[in-house]
Chains A and B, each alone.
Chain A
Amino acid sequence: MVQSLRKIPLYLIGLVLLVFTGYPFIYMISTSLKDQSTFFERPFAIFTTIEWGNYADVFQMGLTRYFLNSILVSVAAVVAVMLIAALASYPLSRMNFRFNRGLFLLFISGMMLPIHATLIPIFKLSQNMGLYDSLLALLGPYIAFSLPISIFILTQFMQEIPKSLEEAAKIDGCSHFGIFWRIILPMLTPALMTVFIYNFIHLWNEFIFALVLVSSPENMTLPLGLQDFYGEFSVNVPGLMAALTLASLPMLVVYLFSQEKVVKGLTGGAVKG
């Protein structure tokens, strides 16, 4: 009895934190299922009405297009990053040469970099290359700014693969590229998974490059599209909440099904360092 009384403060703290972190989600989802009048009259009501109309409205406003754009540009950039970063990490982690350390530092220092320091030149660059206001304009900066963390994760992982493996391969007459492709890359799968998850989630949520490099609605990614909705839906709060719920859904579903992987992926580089 005394034991369980002592635990009351613990439960209290646990519950307060639970409400703090969880309630905004409940509020978002339950409001998205209300009609306008219920929203005004019964702000605290949770799941008393289920009104799917808001979701239909959101789809009519073109949310699907934003979804497709986001998927397209995030997947394309992440796949390119996985390949390019893995290639670069190979000599950086497994070969001795003069500028090795310098090159490595040049790449990973990008993690500290404020995007703002590159914004105007990249904006001008996209105009000069004729890419402004297209998804292609986002690809370059997305790849470049994903490289630092990816190279950081992959070099750490590659350093731990024993050298003896590739020495044997070298004796068999395997080239460096052969070693990379046939031996290193297959062993890299868990690290590449981390790189994929980390970068995909970050690019899926990326806002400032999209804000600067894209202007017409048909090329907007999801975060930019949501911000656009904000203007259109400012009086229809349940409608906006439906859009927010839909936009958050993919991440929440993926998280529900593979919590461990997502958590590891998101904190990938940091936990180890």
Chain B
Amino acid sequence: METAEVTRSSETTKVVRQAKKKNMRKLVTISLFTAPALIVYLVYVVYPILSTLSYSFYSWDGTSDKTFIGLDNYVQLFHDAIFWTSLTNNAWVVMTSVFVQIPLGMIMALMLFAPIRGIRLFSSVYFLPFLMSTVAIGLLWVYMFDPINGIINQLINFLGFENVAWLSDENTALIAILLVVVWQFSPFYMILFKAAMVGIGEELYESAEIDGANSWQKFFHITLPLLMPTIVSSSILAIVGSLKAFDIFYIMTGGGPNHATELMGTYMFKQAFINFNMGYASAIAFIMFLIALVVTILIQVVDYNRKKKGAF
């Protein structure tokens, strides 16, 4: 009786040991496979974010010793009118992305299915802006918007109107850059919508036609509802992308004139690498991180509820 118990328990330990050994080996395998990615990611993404958070509690010029000042940077930021301007401008980029780029992208995609000639040419050219580097786009449009020799003002002159100092006028600079942003990114949404439209079955339109539906009815009752998932995912991409906007604004105006086109990104960059207020810049950077985080979580929650309801 007792011996049997002993053998059984020793067998159990053997099995447990074997299982442990197997688990160990599995753990080693997993670690080896993920280690390179994890190390690079920890060094260049996770650690820097934590450092940014810690820098944001200091007053620091980047070279001499740091002085701990607690939440002072954040308090100052809260009272900084330029920061609020930049936040508002970021919101404008988000709005333009969602309410101009995405609809325009959808119109472009619809054009690719229109019963007209030259579709192949249209689709090739429509996509071109998305291939150009942001820096090149920025510089090209800076010259197109030039107050005197720019082609846009030449056209305005030709039509008999006064020149507009697009990028150096506080009232027009933001609109001018947003136009360029639309130019650059609409093709991207066009491709997303095109891919979704290809998936809509022809028979839906045919049966609608038999029922006597016109083009508008077909669009609003078939195309639009079926594109809803694409609209949602495009909006997510647009919002997240807009929060990160930097290149085109930095190139075209550097946030000027008089902060009219300042974004959180350009303001942070200037505070860090021109004024060497590294602590203050870190506070801005960490706020940018928090906003991105909150938006991401909100989107996930909304998306989860949407999927749970089975809507769309």
Contacts and interface: CB of A to CB of B under 8 A. Distances in A.
Interface of A: 7, 10-11, 13-14, 17-18, 20-22, 24-25, 27-28, 39-40, 43-44, 83-85, 87-88, 90-92, 95, 97, 103, 106-107, 109-125, 140-141, 143-145, 147, 151, 176-177, 180, 201, 204-205, 207-208, 211-212, 222-224, 226-227, 230, 237, 240-241, 244, 247-248, 251-252, 255, 259, 262-263, 266-267, 270-271, 273
Name the residue in B122, B131, B134, B191 with the highest tally of chain A Cβ atoms < 10 Å from its Cβ.
B131
Which has the most chain A C-beta neighbours within 10 Å: B30, B121, B128, B133? B133
B116 A10 contact: yes
B45 interface: yes
Nearest to B112: A14
B52 interface: yes
List the 5 closest pairs (A to B, CB-CB), nearest first.
A144-B44, A118-B48, A121-B48, A88-B37, A121-B51
Contacts of B43: 125, 140, 144
A254 to B, nearest CB: 9
Contacts of B136: 223, 226, 244, 247-248
B188 A119 contact: no
B48 A125 contact: yes
A41 B273 CA distance: 41
A180 B33 contact: yes
B208 interface: no
A91 B246 CA distance: 35
A113 B289 contact: yes
B179 to A, nearest CB: 10
A91 B149 contact: no
Interface in B32-50: 32-34, 36-38, 40-41, 43-49
A147 B37 CA distance: 7
B107 interface: yes
A271 B192 CA distance: 6
B235 to A, nearest CB: 12
Given A110-B45, A113-B289, A176-B29, A120 B51 contact: yes
Q: What band does the interface of chain B fall in when counting residues whose beta carbon is under 8 Å from A?
A: 35 or more
B286 interface: yes
Given A21-B128, A87-B37, A114 B243 contact: yes
A176 B135 contact: no
B23 to A, nearest CB: 9
B126 A118 contact: no
A60 B4 CA distance: 90
18 contacts: A11-B116, A17-B108, A24-B140, A88-B37, A88-B38, A91-B33, A110-B45, A111-B240, A112-B296, A117-B52, A120-B281, A176-B29, A177-B29, A207-B251, A248-B133, A251-B131, A251-B133, A263-B191
A156 B122 CA distance: 32
Contact of A110 (B26, B38, B41, B135): B41
A247 B138 CA distance: 13
Given A114-B288, A151-B37, A207-B135, A144 B233 contact: no
Contacts of A226: 133, 135-136, 139
B102 interface: no
Contact of B292 (A103, A113, A224): A113
A111 B133 CA distance: 20
Most chain A Cβ neighbours within 10 Å, of B33, B118, B141, B284 = B33
Nearest to A146: B40
A205 B135 contact: yes
Contacts of A267: 188, 191-192, 195
B94 interface: no
B127 interface: yes
B111 to A, nearest CB: 5
A88 B48 CA distance: 21
Contacts of B240: 111-112
Among B34, B233, B296: residue with most chain A CB under 10 A: B34
Interface stretch (B67-75, B159-167, B262-270): B262-270
Contacts of B243: 114
Contact of A97 (B30, B129, B131, B284): B30
Contacts of A25: 128
B51 to A, nearest CB: 4
Given A84-B40, A140-B40, A270-B237, A237 B111 contact: no
Interface string B235-276: 001001001101100110000000000001100110011000
